[in-house]
């Protein structure tokens, strides 16, 4: 139960939420749906992750004298960072600077770095847990296939979104140059 809850939450739902946020917001037609998909995956993932974390704490209490320090410490770190991220996401309506605010870049850097750290540590810890439990190879293979599919989707969407971004930049440059006949404006 502990492993399945954590694999679904930290290892599947959170990466899916990150994919929605990173790639779907590039498509103007996906606004604001990408945001709601992102938040839904993150909140559901965090909720399921809390259950998985609590189950892990319970298992640790039942296993006197048996300690998997690295797995436990990574799990605590993921849970703490996930809790911080969740609370700040809830208060984001009040704390997050507006899109054009000069401090927004710092908010984004914090949010992205903590989010990707949670995902990476979560996946690493899922594999640690599988090793501890000595699960059958089919479980490891299934999880590897699942995150490989998510990774493949991310790679494809990365290429698609970059092509869209570069196309938009090119169009913006053309419209700027066309409006000024290729010359810089006289007044700034």
pLDDT per residue as tens, the chain (188 positions): 999 999 999 999 999 999 999 999 888 888 899 989 998 999 999 999 999 999 999 988 888 888 889 999 999 999 999 999 888 777 766 777 777 888 888 888 888 999 999 999 999 999 999 999 999 999 999 999 999 999 999 999 999 999 998 998 888 887 665 555 444 444 44
Q: Is residue 167 part of a domain?
A: no
pLDDT of residue 188: 45
Domain boundaries, position 72: 2-156
At 102-126, the pLDDT tens digits run: 888 888 888 899 999 999 999 999 9
**Count of domains observed in the chain:** 1
pTM (whole model) above 0.95: no
Q: What are phi and psi of 67, to 5 degrees?
A: -130, 130
Q: What CATH number corresponds to the domain at position 101? A: 1.20.120.1770
Q: Is residue 11 part of a domain?
A: yes
For helices 69-90 and 33-62, angle between their N-to-C axes, nearest 10 degrees: 140
**Residue pair 132/75 in contact by the 8 Å Cβ criterion:** no
The residues near 69 (Cβ < 8 Å, ≥ 6 apart) are none
Q: Is residue 82 part of a domain?
A: yes
Instruction: Name which of 75, 80, 93 is nearest 39 in CA terms.
Output: 93
Distance CA 126, CA 137 (A): 14
Q: How many CA atoms lie within 13 A of 32 on its CB side?
A: 4
Distance CA 39, CA 105 (A): 20
Q: Is residue 58 part of a domain?
A: yes
Q: Is residue 185 part of a domain?
A: no
């Amino acid at each position: 139960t502990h492993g399945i809850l954590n694999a679904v939450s930290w290892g599947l739902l959170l990466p899916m939420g990150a994919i929605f946020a990173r790639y779907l917001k590039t498509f103007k037609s996906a606004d604001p749906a990408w945001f709601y998909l992102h938040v839904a995956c993150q909140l559901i993932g965090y909720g399921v992750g809390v259950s998985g974390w609590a189950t892990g704490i319970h298992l640790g209490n039942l296993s006197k004298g048996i300690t998997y320090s690295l797995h436990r410490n990574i799990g605590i770190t993921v849970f703490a960072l996930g809790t911080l991220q969740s609370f700040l996401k809830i208060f984001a309506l009040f704390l997050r600077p507006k899109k054009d605010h000069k401090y927004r870049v710092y908010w984004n850097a914090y949010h992205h770095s903590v989010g990707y750290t949670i995902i990476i540590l979560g996946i690493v810890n899922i594999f640690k847990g599988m090793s501890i439990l000595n699960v059958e190879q089919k479980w490891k293979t299934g999880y590897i296939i699942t995150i490989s599919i998510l990774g493949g989707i991310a790679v494809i969407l990365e290429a698609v979104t970059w092509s869209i971004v570069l196309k938009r930049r090119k169009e913006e440059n053309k419209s700027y140059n066309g409006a000024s006949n290729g010359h810089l404006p006289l007044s700034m």
